[in-house]
Every structure is written in C-alpha cells, then in structure tokens.
Amino acid sequence: MDRRSATLFLSGLAGLPLLGLSAVPAAADGLDTIMQRKKLLVAIDLGNPPHGMMNAEFKPTGSDVETARLLAQDFGVELEIVQVSTANRVQYLMTNKADLVISALSITEERKRVIDFSTAYAELQCVVAAPKAMNIASYADLAGKGGIAVTRGTVNDQELTRGTAGVSGVQIVRFEDDPTSTVAITSGQLKIYATSLPLLNQLRKDNPQLDLDTKFVMKGFPLGIALRKNETKLRDKLNAWVRANLENGKLVEIYERYHGVRLVPAELAAKS
C-alpha cells in the first residue's frame, strides 16, 4: 500500500468506533428482564399431579404452581404460567419462552451441563411400582415381567435405563408425557410403572381400586428451579429466596400440603 492509499485507509477508519477498545454492553441478566417486564414466565407441566395440575374449576394448582406464585409475589411481579410437557420443559427455557422452570425438575449432572439450577427447594423419589402379587424388589426382578411404563426423558427413565442395563429380558415402554404413561397403567395395558413417588401417590388416590404397590426406590433427587446459564444475579436471588422460604417454613408447608411429606431443609441443602 503506497502512502496516499494508507492515508485514505486510515482516514476512513477515523469515524468508526475502536471495537477492540470500546466497552461492549453486557447481556441483560434474566433478573433484569423479569423486573423490567414486571412479569415472571414460569414453565410448569400441569399434567403432573401433585406438582402441577388443574383443579375442579380448571385453574392451575399443585406444589410447583404454589411455589411459582410465592416466588412471583416475593419478587413483586405478575406470574404467567407457561404450560409445558415433561419432555419439553428445558426446551422452553432454552428458547426464551420461559424465564424459569419450576416443574419437578431434578438436579442432575447431565442437566447441569446445559442449564443452571437454584439450590434445592424440594425432593423427588423415583420408584418402581407394580401389583402386590408381583415379586419385585430390584432391577433384576424386572426381567420377564412384561412392559414397564415410563415417561421419556425423565429421571425415572434415566434411572430405569441405567439400572436395567445389564439385565436381559427387560422391556421398557416409553411414553411422551406423564398422563399418557398413567393411562397405560390405569387401562391395564401395562402393569409395572417407573415414576415419581408423588405421582404414584396421586394416581392411587384418584384410583383407589388400582392394584399398585411401591416395590423399590430407584433414587432420590433434589428438585431445583431451572434457569439459563450465566444468569448470575437471577441465580443468586433464587438461592437466597429458596433458603429464606425453607427456613421460614413456607416451602415446607406447600410441599407437605400436596405431598404429605415434610421436607428437612438441612438435608435438602446437603443434596444441592
């Protein structure tokens, strides 16, 4: 480049910002977005009782619904429930259709690679249930017993798949959501159900004639409020909120009212 060309090139840059040196505005944290919008968008599966369901007046209710309402109230914003299925909870979060997921979402290492969680606000036990007459006490006993209903992509599915990996003769039948899995059991299509203990308890409550016993616990998982990665302000505020509402008993009362189980905050904190 000759001297005249170099001069023209440099003069052309004079009116442009020095991109390497100028400050680049940081992306808004999720908390900023929520507070500016004055509305909290929470993804909840309303087909997963007693976490999320519709009452007799066709209004959302359940432990996760009440948790979301308490959170929005304490944040001083309006709550909008974004109805999702078990399979697409995380997808709605990642595509910005929801700010948070409060929907019986277990804290697992696999999920933590993609999303963040608050400290645990509740707990979920994954169990295998079957008729009383069936002799089932472990994964090995599932061999040759017929199809096992489970909802695809849930921790129930993950634990059942892992636990039966070395067992031949096990037939896992995956359904896309909890209501469909449940229908397979209540209709008699399948006899064995890998699911969460709260869902099982609700199923037995709604169908007292159903012959379905808890055979063994696959694993217990802490439940967290899910948010997108790198939303530090929102995560810190959620953590402080969860701790405060476990200590003051509000989250404990909500969980006990819907699940009949009393949470122990110290034990939850140890599992987060």
C-alpha torsion sign, points 230, 220, 150, 84: negative
Q: Does residue 142 lie in a domain region?
A: yes
CATH number for 185: 3.40.190.10
Q: How far apart are CA 52 and CA 61, in angstroms?
A: 6
Of 120-124, 184-188, 266-270, the range with the lowest mean pLDDT is 266-270
The answer to whether residues 248 and 114 belong to one domain is yes
The answer to whether residues 174 and 236 belong to one domain is no
**Tokens linked to 204:** 């037995």
The answer to whether residues 129 and 117 belong to one domain is no
- How many structural domains compose the chain? 2
Length of the chain: 272
Q: Does residue 13 lie in a domain region?
A: no
- Does the global pTM surpass 0.85? no
Q: Identify any residues that bridge with 179 across adjacent strands, giving them in sequence order.
A: none
Q: Does residue 98 lie in a domain region?
A: yes
The answer to whether residues 37 and 166 belong to one domain is no
Q: Does residue 2 lie in a domain region?
A: no
Q: Does residue 20 lie in a domain region?
A: no
Q: 40-70, pLDDT tens digit by residue?
A: 999 999 998 899 999 999 999 999 999 999 9
Q: 1-12, pLDDT tens digit by residue?
A: 444 444 433 333
For residue 157, the enclosing domain spans: 125-221
CB 149 within 8 A of CB 194: yes
Does 34 score more than 60 pLDDT? yes
The DSSP element (H or E) to which 30 belongs, if any, is helix 30-37
The answer to whether residues 177 and 204 belong to one domain is yes
